[in-house]
Structure 1
Amino acid sequence: MRHLIFIISIISTSIYAQEITGIVYSNGEPLPYTNIYLKNTSKGTSADENGHFRIKNVEPGKYTIIASFTGFKSATKKIHIKEQPIAVTFELQESEMLDEVVITGTLKAVSRLESPVPVEVYSPIFLKKNPTPNIFEALQNVNGVRPQINCNVCNTGDIHINGLEGPYTLVLIDGMPIVSGLSTVYGLSGIPNSLIEQIEIVKGPASSLYGSEAVGGLINIITKLPEHAPIVFADSYVTGWGEYNLDLGFKASVSPKTSLLFGINYFNYNNPIDNNNDNFTDLTLQNRISVFQKWDFQRESNRLFSIAGRFFYEDRWGGEMQWTPEYRGGNEIYGESIYTKRYELLGKYQLPVSEKMLLQFSYTDHNQNSVYGDMPYLATQRIGFTQLTWDKSLNNHDLLLGTAARYNFYDDNTPATVHADEIIIPSLFIQDEINFSERQNLLVGARYDYDKRHGNIFTPRIAYKFKPTKDNIFRVNAGTGFRVVNLFTEEHAALTGARDVIIKDELKPERSYNINFNYLTKLYTKSGFIFGLDASAWYTYFTNMISPDYDTNPNQIIYDNLDGKAVSKGISFNIDTLFPNGIKLLAGATFQDVSQTEHGITQKQMLTESFTGTWAATYKNYKYHILIDYTGNLYGPMRLPLLGDLDPRLPESPVWSIQNIQFTYDGLNQFEIYAGIKNLLNWTPNKGNPFIIARAHDPFDENVEFDNNGDVIPTQENPYALTFDPSYVYGPNQGRRLFFGLRYTLN
């Protein structure tokens, strides 16, 4: 009887099952190879070369059918299948992929296409292609941007843009400069990816709007408005090395006019690994928690008012494998232990006046308790920032006027900081964007800062945009940048365990002069091929550049204003391509020459690659709900800091690459399962080198002999005349590992 019922049910299903047919258009032309699928089912197909599609054996019922094609806006229709076949027609519109709203380049919310300043935009989808525990690591797949690890032991680092070192990069959250030299890596850690609306990157000086530190470029992390965030989200993954990362959050309506966005990031790695057999941890052990919340208040006339805050705490250590906290600060077992506690507050308030005036503010308190071997580094940094802008349109002029004030407090226990550094820097700035026509506009701007240590600082800029067609844009930007330097950031202090920091003279502010050419285009074909190109060429000239000298004395880092010039020049290309078979490719390449000339001698800047390549290839099989992401980067040679002529380590890094692959299944309602392999090639910097950390067996230099000038004497025990030095680093020591994760999103 059971078999009879089963046979009858199969026959009845085959009788009543129907098919869905249709065609997909775009701009009146058939759109081939579009993905068509029924939501929450395994039924799906792809359109043929003429845009036609057919889904067979669909049981009667109500469905949601979706047409999706990368580069176009997805279309959704409700259908009800009864006893007759059904035909569906879709008309897909080109997506606004090049038309994202950006604010970084001009301090205004404008279309990326209309901005006279080129801005690169990266969404949370980009971050998901290679899941990382922080944004710092995620930027490794952005062309022209490189996370630089500055210490083999503690793994702290900074962000290089177009070959310029981390102190030249300004990091902002929601437009507020809450991060500076002491804490770049911490400002880019602990923000759950699900809370990020987008990441905006400007390459080149932006000091005319953002002041000191925005010399090489800036990174602006835009967090979501509560109304745009999911109701609940969770994302957690583990790796084969024992790393564990958790992002968790929710949004809530506290009252009819008040909404809250809350997120927690927790990261833990507590599994010492020494694959290169130097008795030092290959990866710093970490225990980190970050709590973020953002309050949004509804006001009359939709005026803005939001406040956000974040608390960050981290305990990290690296060192000899047998190190435990009881050895912290001693000279028996070498370890670098860092306790970091950080508070951040930022907000924006639109004044209740008829004019468009916006008050923004931020405050950070950063406390660091670190030891490097037996050398303590205790530092406190407080930064307060407030800014008032007036946005005014007059005929074809779009004006922005503003005033800002920045409060800096810095103190540490190093001999160079005899007194705490405390200063207030007031600023004025003005910007005028002149719209000559729909095709061209001109932006002129200037900023004035007063620093009592250095006097008046003036930074002008000019930008011209020409748009001959809707899909072709030419931009020219020129301007100046400046940077007031505080050398004693964590990364430099981390090296004092091996090298002394020497300041020869009173340091003057750095100045730079920059010009940038940019071309942006997009091409669509009837065959379904889409091609986008973003190309740039730049030239930056530095005066008064402050450069670390590793070469004069291997036991010292000598800082002084360069008696000469420094130049950064190069070209970069980003392509965004969609093939008819559904494969999407984001790829970029940068070729650069960053050099310094002093006393007639020109040499390449230390730790600066000559070329970079990045890629992210994606393929989505809609029928089986499988997404494949293949990401990677490629770096050219860079000059490395050796300890002398006898140092046997490579003077230049080889060409190296880190590649990753990820598989994601999203066929479950509200859940995504993902897994993959990081560092497929198992590349680490010790390959081809006799060692990475110099004298890892003698971290306190107990068996090193010096002459009367303080230079190391070669001995039988120390034939290369080395001291303990963990600063020879240009890439991560972490090899191949598997990862597995689960995401949950309730919208």
Structure 2
Amino acid sequence: MKINFTLFIIIAFSINLWAQEKQKDSIKGNELLEVMVVTGTRTERVLSSLPLPMTIITSEAIAKSGVTRLNEILNEQTGIILIPDQSGFEGIQMQGLDAAYTMILIDGVPLVGRNSGVLDLSRVSVGNIERIEIVKGASSALYGSEAMGGVINVITKKPKKDMFSGTLSYRYATFNTNDINTNILWKKKKFSANLFTNFYSSDGYDLDKTTPLKNVERFYNSTIQPKLYYDFSENLKLIISNRFYNQKMNNVSIIDNENYKGDAKENEWNSQIKLEHKWNSKLYSEYELYATNYKNDSFLNDENNTLFEKTYYNQWLFRPEVRTTLSINNDKLTAGIGLNYETLDRTYFDNNVKFNSQYVFVQYDYNPTEKWNVLAGFRYDSHSEYASQLSPKLAVNYKFNTDFSLKGSVGYGYKAPDFRQLFFDFTNPQVGYTVLGYNVAEERLNQFEEQGQLLSRTAGISFDKPLEAESAVNFNFGTFYKKNKLKLDINAFYNSITNLIDTRVVAQKTNGQNVFSYFNISEVFTYGAEFNSTYNFTKEFTVSLGYQYLIAKDKSVIDNFEDYQYVRNSQLQTVKINKSDYFGLFNRSKHTANIKFLYTIPSIKTDINLRVFYRSKYGMFDTNGNQVLDKYDTFVNDYFITNLSASKYINDKVIFQAGANNLLDFTDPGQISNLAGRQFFARIQYNF
């Protein structure tokens, strides 16, 4: 069904314009509350004064949506799209940049265990989340590699006063999906604790009944997250936090028309010890020690129950860090120093490989007047496997008055070559092609030659100098407006990425297949704009509108377009195309939008939450042989997704919730693997 996107935007903007006209008659004193955030500056700041593009998802918004996993709530945010990779994991795309360029944190420390750059966000339950802070744009000045495109920080709940309280909830959904949460908060004098547990299971789903393989196989997982707090005094506080995650999934495959079955297991633990020390009214320090380990193991047996294949992945990260903030009148100077020690042992690596790096960062939060805020800083990383990186950033916010401000930022970001790009050594047993990491490629190619497996090497290819880190320059410029019942946030962005790491043919084997390795090849740019607005018509009725316009293209394609001009159209005719026919990078939509309605019925203590999401057409593959996406390729058509939830407050302690995700049951089995169709759910929660 063809969707009239223009009509959708006209209607949505009309609602906002009408809202502004009605504003004069609004009830006074209903200002939106100020929100304190920490991710953008590593210090506590008021959101409205922050000179960076940032989004906050509150615990209230998460609860009313009815979702249970981190990937689900992120997928409902403006400018964020979750893209499934070949493994089925959903990776985040922000400002047109891939998942490998976004750092994921829990309480300020990073998760590890990426598969081809993609982190499985369904590993994280939302049952104990206080808020989620999303910083868009290059953030390497504070967070280093993997933050080239932005940072997402999941902040969990913490006891705030002497009390014993908690929640117990159960949610049942389509596909025999079960979600059980327990979250206990306790505080007495100097000691406090938080214990969160979650059990989650599903039978998976199958969009194509003609094959024995499901899109998602049956699985179950559990999370245990204990946190302890001890206040030695008002000025010295200790935090000990741990997280344990375990999952088991059916592992099924069809190879050469034969069925193979087995299991796939994931195990993860995170441990953080932090000491907060307030020396005096002006000097504050944090001492942090963090360690994490992620493992997955899988196997496949043939029809005779004989082991056919076994794979493993075992990654460690150890990171101590010290941060200090000095308050100088209205300004803050923050500095930090730390080191990362990483190891990875996995299938298709010859050895257990290691990275180590040392870093220092400095940031100055300068407030010369009440109207001006300047945020300037840099980070320097020294790494064992690639050149040292200096990542500066400058951001400015000008507040015209309490309701209106302009903000802009420019920053440098980088993404280090990952373990796979440096040390991978894989030969496909069925097809016969080979993929080699950059650091092992020369030695393995020499071995292939000695064994008589190479037909030829690609001319001009050498591995003489180290693979360089990808780098990006990011610009943001926007405005923030908030008055009475209306909040408006607009941001324009531009990203220019150089030294993009991609695969390239380095040799041809005697079996006719190619050998690939990784090189700094392409230059990519993305630009666009985001619009977010919220209007409270009454205390009971709120409407929110979000929209993103995005262009994402490969500069080398534009500069050398004559290499891509000839394609085969649907009638198998050779056609010459123009530069204007080049659509851009794969899996990017020019238009995404959402509109959200929240309506409260006080008389029956019920909240109704309706969200509608739109994504315009996009291309996933080159289908006409010219290696780029153009108008003659096959596209995924634009579509709407509608989610609905209703929450009934039985009393102060019991909440019942029911709803449906993908209410209109949209699926596209041949092209979109992560749209499972309509999913009904019901949830009950007990507060104590």
> What's the TM-score once normalised by structure 2's chain length?
0.80
SS in 2 for 1:469: coil
1:649-693, CA deviations, whole angstroms, 9 ceiling, x for partnerless residues?
Answer: 97321112221111211133311111112212211122xxxxx3x
Q: How is 1:98-109 mapped onto 2 (pairs within 5 angstroms)?
A: 99-109=34-44
Q: How many corresponding residue pairs?
A: 597
Match of 2:297 among 353, 365, 369: 369
Contact 1:611 1:636 in 2 (8 A): yes
Separation in 1, partners of 2:119, 2:521: 33
Match of 1:608 among 577, 583, 588: 588
Separation in 2, partners of 1:93, 1:523: 10
SS in 2 for 1:225: coil
SS in 2 for 1:333: strand
Q: How is 1:186-197 mapped onto 2 (pairs within 5 angstroms)?
A: 188-189=121-122, 191-197=124-130
Q: Which amino acid aligns with 1:594?
A: A
Report the counterpart of residue 5 of structure 1 in structure 2: none
Deviation at 1:562, TM superposition (A): 4.5
Report the counterpart of residue 117 of structure 1 in structure 2: 52
Separation in 1, partners of 2:606, 2:543: 17
Contact 1:606 1:641 in 2 (8 A): yes
SS in 1 for 2:61: helix
Separation in 1, partners of 2:602, 2:659: 19
Report the counterpart of residue 743 of structure 1 in structure 2: 685
Separation in 2, partners of 1:650, 1:330: 30
Match of 1:535 among 479, 484, 490: 490
Deviation at 1:263, TM superposition (A): 0.8
Separation in 1, partners of 2:186, 2:126: 18
SS in 1 for 2:658: strand
Report the counterpart of residue 44 of structure 1 in structure 2: none
SS in 2 for 1:167: helix
Separation in 2, partners of 1:503, 1:199: 35
Contact 2:615 2:640 in 1 (8 A): yes
1:264-316, CA deviations, whole angstroms, 9 ceiling, x for partnerless residues?
Answer: 11111126645553432133321100111111111212433211101100012
1:94 aligns with 2:26: no
Deviation at 1:185, TM superposition (A): 7.1
Do the aligned partners of residues 117 and 556 (structure 1) sit closer, same or farther apart at CA in structure 2, a change above 3 Å counting? Answer: farther
Q: How is 1:699-738 mapped onto 2 (pairs within 5 angstroms)?
A: 730-738=672-680
Contact 1:663 1:676 in 2 (8 A): yes
Contact 1:150 1:156 in 2 (8 A): yes
Do the aligned partners of residues 448 and 185 (structure 1) sit closer, same or farther apart at CA in structure 2, a change above 3 Å counting? Answer: closer
1:593 aligns with 2:525: no
SS in 2 for 1:129: helix
Bigger mean CA offset, 198-207 vs 156-165: 156-165
Separation in 1, partners of 2:381, 2:387: 8
Greater gyration radius: 1
Contact 1:140 1:633 in 2 (8 A): no
Deviation at 1:485, TM superposition (A): 1.9
Match of 2:381 among 437, 446, 449: 449
Report the counterpart of residue 276 of structure 2 in structure 1: 350
Deviation at 1:101, TM superposition (A): 0.5
Bigger mean CA offset, 468-477 vs 654-663: 654-663
Deviation at 1:740, TM superposition (A): 1.0
Separation in 1, partners of 2:425, 2:192: 42
Report the counterpart of residue 221 of structure 2 in structure 1: 288
Report the counterpart of residue 567 of structure 1 in structure 2: 525
RMSD: 3.3
Deviation at 1:318, TM superposition (A): 5.5
1:651 aligns with 2:634: yes
Q: How is 1:402-421 mapped onto 2 (pairs within 5 angstroms)?
A: 402-414=336-348, 417-421=349-353
1:100-134, CA deviations, whole angstroms, 9 ceiling, x for partnerless residues?
Answer: 00001100011112223232111112212332331
Separation in 1, partners of 2:168, 2:116: 27
SS in 2 for 1:127: helix
Separation in 1, partners of 2:585, 2:378: 30
SS in 2 for 1:193: coil
1:516 aligns with 2:476: yes
1:569-602, CA deviations, whole angstroms, 9 ceiling, x for partnerless residues?
Answer: 1101011112248321222111111111226246
Contact 1:173 1:221 in 2 (8 A): yes
Contact 1:178 1:362 in 2 (8 A): no
SS in 2 for 1:246: strand
1:316 aligns with 2:244: no
Deviation at 1:558, TM superposition (A): 5.3
Match of 1:617 among 590, 597, 605: 597
Separation in 2, partners of 1:183, 1:260: 36
1:627 aligns with 2:607: yes
Deviation at 1:487, TM superposition (A): 5.5
SS in 2 for 1:298: strand
Separation in 1, partners of 2:539, 2:334: 46
Separation in 2, partners of 1:494, 1:626: 55
1:415-460, CA deviations, whole angstroms, 9 ceiling, x for partnerless residues?
Answer: xx22322122111111112111000121110111101222321111
Q: Which runs of 4+ in 1 moved over 6 A?
A: 183-187, 492-499, 552-557
1:263 aligns with 2:196: yes
Bigger mean CA offset, 584-593 vs 363-372: 363-372
Report the counterpart of residue 82 of structure 1 in structure 2: none
1:466 aligns with 2:426: no
Separation in 2, partners of 1:126, 1:488: 37
Bigger mean CA offset, 212-221 vs 117-126: 117-126
Do the aligned partners of residues 659 and 555 (structure 1) sit closer, same or farther apart at CA in structure 2, a change above 3 Å counting? Answer: farther
Contact 1:235 1:742 in 2 (8 A): yes
SS in 2 for 1:231: strand
Do the aligned partners of residues 681 and 391 (structure 1) sit closer, same or farther apart at CA in structure 2, a change above 3 Å counting? Answer: same
Q: Which amino acid aligns with 2:66?
A: P
Do the aligned partners of residues 189 and 231 (structure 1) sit closer, same or farther apart at CA in structure 2, a change above 3 Å counting? Answer: farther
Separation in 1, partners of 2:426, 2:300: 6
Report the counterpart of residue 157 of structure 2 in structure 1: 224
1:174-208, CA deviations, whole angstroms, 9 ceiling, x for partnerless residues?
Answer: 11123363498767445543421110000001000
SS in 1 for 2:414: strand
1:430 aligns with 2:362: yes
Do the aligned partners of residues 495 and 667 (structure 1) sit closer, same or farther apart at CA in structure 2, a change above 3 Å counting? Answer: farther
Separation in 1, partners of 2:40, 2:340: 20
Report the counterpart of residue 453 of structure 2 in structure 1: none
Do the aligned partners of residues 646 and 486 (structure 1) sit closer, same or farther apart at CA in structure 2, a change above 3 Å counting? Answer: closer
Report the counterpart of residue 665 of structure 2 in structure 1: 682
Separation in 1, partners of 2:467, 2:593: 36
Report the counterpart of residue 131 of structure 2 in structure 1: 198
> What's the TM-score once normalised by structure 1's chain length?
0.74
Report the counterpart of residue 499 of structure 2 in structure 1: 544
1:279 aligns with 2:279: no
Separation in 2, partners of 1:185, 1:258: 38
Contact 1:403 1:428 in 2 (8 A): yes
